[in-house]
Amino acid sequence: MHRSRLEQLPPELLSHLLSFVCLDSLLSLSATSRLLHAFITSSALPTYAAKTLGARTPFTLQHLPFHRRAPWAQRAQWGERTSERWGAWDGRGAVVSPWTGGKCLPVVKLWEVDHGVGTVLVASGRELQLWATRNDGNLEVIPVVVPLPPGVAAAAAAGRGAAAPRGALDDVTSLASGTRPGEVVVARHSGLVQRLRVAHHADPARRRPLVLEETARYAMPGPGAGPAADGKGATAVQALHSGGGLLAAATTTRLPPPSVSSALPSSSSLTASATPLHTLATSLSSRAAPKSHAVTLHALSSPWAPASAVLPFAAKPWAVHLSPSRRWLAVGHTGTAPLSLLHLDSTGSPTGSPALALARTRRPTSVYGLTSPSPLSSGWANPDETLLAALYDSTARVYDLRVPVPGPASSSSSWDDAHAAADDERPRNEVLRLSDPWSDDAAYALALGGPQGAVLAVGSARNAAVRLFDLRAPAAPLFLLVEAETQREAKARDRATARGITAFAPGRDRSPVYGLAGEASRFWGVTERRGFVLDFDAFPRGGGAGGRRWGERVAYVGHEEGGGGTLRWMGE
């Protein structure tokens, strides 16, 4: 059989040519011959899906069971349509789960509960939940149970070792990925850091929860790595992050307070009591006790081993982030140089060189959130050398770690000079600064998602507001708010006048957004009262009449350069 000239091209050249072809042409071309059909299905369509929406990145298709079994043609169509929805969003979102225990400081994380099965793991207080997507596209909230280890449970039943069960049941402060699917690292308010793994999978039909069992506890340094004498944890863990086989933890240790016994009156009625006295003096002394701050590095697969490095900090560290290739460690803390970078050697230990200050501010501020692009994201040229930070001064900043920065954090620069020429002067390594032009609320969390992992979501400190920026074109509108125009006309509009939007999470909370997690078609978030999702998926969910989309419509503000902001309530 005679082969066409196109079929006679070398595979690498054919693949390069097909990378410039639109999806409709690829599908039509795949129907012309068996050879082209096999090549386009196995190579061109997966490449197209990865190019348009980053469909090879984790949690892009894993959270949609019906897409895991779909052919690449359908996956590419889903990627293209979902990418278009980011440019024509209808303000769709939903409340996933209100917290049953009242107000709390929740934590959210994308988690691979099994190989190839992506879910969302949420901690609200001491409770854990799993948000899973069913085959029909709807969400399901699955409770998670963490039983006490057998030895601890027996001691608790016998009335001994009350401190250990208390620590194992305290509120969760941070979550990190384990060494394999179905494994997670949990930090609690008592300072306990546990490694949990799936013992029994959930069975929603029989109302059986997901059961996680404790397999090990990480050895945290500092005095009183467990509960202190007053029953409260002497060492608290603010943040965790894992990467490259390492686990980084931001800790604060409360040192023993000075004795106040000399200030108490000498009375027989006081000294005769065998129980400790809880007076105002002792309470204030305990609260004002000195504290030490540190960032520790552990071998992720060896929780029983002591920390491989303990890095002291003068200010409280709020966020830590490890490079996927474990080449560097970023620490967000408080001060005029609130973001520090430490280089790691091939073994994952600090090189010994002083920490570099990536950010400098005239007034003290804090860095509350850190992230970096996925190594598989097609929209980033150097994801391992890119760092994004959320600051208390309401800004989100992008840093290129390849650019040289000044020396140690104690050195001065023009950015820290009181006589700087302009307030908007930036360090050389800061390539982008993003903010809401109509709000100075602090930024508490951030996450990357959307097409090619290039949409940045920033959680603000009030009104459950989520700021969305498209980093591929920060001066272009993230969403076109079109009413009378058709989609084709909307694409032809000049996109150089808008800055992005600020969406208000469903539920009308006034609280901060404490955590965010992003994927290709959805952003997940948590406030002090509930968890929510902002949905950008191309396919309707729920099977409602007329193909209505799943969820409710939310309010958002569109920012246009020179035109201010326009509040749009997209209610029915």
The two beta strands, 139-145 and 210-217, are parallel
72 and 130 in a single domain? The answer is no
The reported pLDDT for the residue numbered 435 is 85
How is residue 185 written in tokens? 């690292």
- How far apart CA 246 and CA 322 sit, in angstroms, is 8
In a domain, 283, yes or no: no
| 248 strand-pairing partners | 241, 297
Return the ∠ at Cα 290 (arms to 123 and 273), rounded to 5°: 90
65 and 110 in a single domain? The answer is no
74 and 143 in a single domain? The answer is no
78 and 95 in a single domain? The answer is no
Of 62, 82, 102, which residue is a domain's last? 82
The reported pLDDT for the residue numbered 212 is 94
76 and 154 in a single domain? The answer is no
Q: What is the number of domains present in the chain?
A: 2
Dihedral pair phi/psi, residue 78, rounded to 5°: -60, -40
229 and 349 in a single domain? The answer is yes
Cβ-in-10-Å burial (0-12, 13-18, 19+) of 453 comes to buried
366 and 397 in a single domain? The answer is yes
99 and 74 in a single domain? The answer is no
The reported pLDDT for the residue numbered 417 is 43
In a domain, 348, yes or no: yes
In a domain, 271, yes or no: no
The reported pLDDT for the residue numbered 42 is 85
- How far apart CA 548 and CA 539 sit, in angstroms, is 10
- How far apart CA 264 and CA 522 sit, in angstroms, is 59
DSSP output for 211-272:
EEEEEEE----STTSSB-TTSSBSEEEEEEEEETTEEEEEEEEEPPPPP-GGGS---HHHHT
In a domain, 264, yes or no: no
| 175 strand-pairing partners | 186
In a domain, 36, yes or no: yes
The reported pLDDT for the residue numbered 480 is 31
Which amino acid is residue 160, in one-letter code?
A: R
164 and 227 in a single domain? The answer is yes
- Is the dihedral angle over the CA atoms 383, 385, 386, 390 positive or is it negative? positive
63 and 145 in a single domain? The answer is no
In a domain, 276, yes or no: no
132 and 75 in a single domain? The answer is no
Which amino acid is residue 374, in one-letter code?
A: S
Which domain, by its residues, includes 17? 11-82
DSSP output for 69-86:
SS-HHHHHHHHHHHHHHT
Name every residue whose Cβ is closer than 8 Å to that of residue 242 and which is 6 or more positions away in sequence.
Answer: 176, 177, 178, 185, 248, 300, 322
Of 82, 101, 133, which residue is a domain's last? 82
User: What predicted TM-score, i.e. pTM, was given to this entire model?
Assistant: 0.81
- Low-confidence residues of the chain, pLDDT below 70? 1-2, 52-69, 135-137, 150-167, 222-233, 257-289, 377-378, 406-426, 473-499, 539-551, 558-572
Which amino acid is residue 278, in one-letter code?
A: H
For residue 477, the domain's CATH number is 2.130.10.10
The reported pLDDT for the residue numbered 414 is 44
How is residue 295 written in tokens? 């960032």
In a domain, 261, yes or no: no
220 and 337 in a single domain? The answer is yes
The reported pLDDT for the residue numbered 273 is 43
The reported pLDDT for the residue numbered 287 is 58
In a domain, 433, yes or no: yes
Q: Which of 459, 524, 492 is nearest to 87 (CA)?
A: 492
How is residue 124 written in tokens? 């609200």
Of 29, 59, 82, which residue is a domain's last? 82
- How far apart CA 334 and CA 293 sit, in angstroms, is 11
Helix ranges, 99-184 (H): 150-157, 163-168
